[in-house]
Amino acid sequence: MSAGPAPLQTLLVGQSGGGTPVINASLAGVIAEAQAQGVTQVLGMRYGIRGLLEEQFVDLSALTAQDLSRLARTPSAALGLCRHKLTLDTTLAAATILRRRRIDALLYIGGNDSAETTLALGQAVAAAGGAVACIGIPKTIDNDLPAMDHTPGYGSAARWVAAVARDLGLDAWAMQREEQVRILEVYGRDTGWLAAASVLARDTAADAPHLVLVPERPFLEDTFLTAVERQVARAGFCSIVVGEMLRDADGGLVGSGDAAWRDAFGHAETRRPGAYLRDLIQQRLRLRAKDDRPGSIQKVVADDASGVDRQEAWELGRAAVRAAVAGESERIVTLHRLGDAPYRVDYRLAPLTAVAGKVRPLPAEFLGADGQPNAAFVRYARPLIGEPLPERWRLAGRT
């Protein structure tokens, strides 16, 4: 009879990329499950993979259940973050540190770039004859990772965007005699998942936002201006949500800004499409327009985070530990949807190669012929934002 995998003595966990309202819930889930599995020591690396290269570790083994509960409700990343791309030399150096420090498992919480890092480390360790279980734990408010139904962080950010889009729409109605167009620019990088979420608080098709612009559909200037003009003529105002990486018919970024700047993984700087649309509307249509760009607020507001999102993030952390204990490596834990009525998921494993460096766009079936998020998208996304949003009372349309 096989003795099975050796028990884990030392587990190392890190966080990478951008923060989310629930990334710390995954960290708390890792620690809780490691304690339950009898892992001797849980170490956290400070500032992601940089902390591994610099051997900046913090011992998390003795955190209490009360500590973990508070950690799970804390936004951004308690261990610190980075966007550091490994080279061949630093990959080999990191693998050497893992072996020398006798790390049995490396769990890395992040997006597609972090999956790439985890995969490179797993391959380097295996090539050197080591036995470190390298497991990825997904997170990103952008919801753009392949091989899974959705990502932790998206549900909470989607909830926030939906609430803000609705409330800005009410203000846009109130201000229509002074400002006829209101524009909200949201995160999402190369995909429109987050911008699409702005429709989730609408009660009727006439509610704000009236136009949602996503990078999956090319921005056509004249078509857009016609739609804005018609909406203002019909209702007196127009509420617009735009994703930060809006693209034209040639694939170029729409807007103004430093498009030449790229991060370590080659991602372009956003070009401020909201400001561009504001100026375009004012110059071409002679309507007063205002743009709002909340920026990092979208990924750190945790007080009204989705309870569904937080629980799933916690469970993914636990599932990653179980995968490491079972001897898995070069894998990422994933969410798989079992049903919508009631909403149910389970937790599975996928190869890191399915996620590393890859992007999942908003699928065509979630957009109508007009390019707007449709009922299929709402059915997909609404369970992820958790409990119903607080109701608002509308005088608009009643008189």
Q: Are 323 and 29 in contact (CB under 8 A)?
A: no
Catalytic sites, residue numbers: 142
Q: Are 376 and 365 in contact (CB under 8 A)?
A: yes
State in Å, rounded, how far the first CA of the chain is from the last one: 78
Cα of 284 vs its chain's centroid, Å: 35
- DSSP helix, strand, coil percent of the chain (3-state; round to 5): 40, 20, 45
Residues 6+ apart with CB under 8 A from 385: 155, 156, 158, 159, 162, 197, 200, 306, 308, 309
Cα of 137 vs its chain's centroid, Å: 12
Residues 6+ apart with CB under 8 A from 47: 56, 79, 80, 81, 82
Buried b (16+ CB within 10 A) or exposed e, 23-57: bbbbbbbbbbbbbeeebebbbbbbbbbbbbbeeeb
Dist CA 297 CA 125 (whole Å): 38
Dist CA 9 CA 197 (whole Å): 42
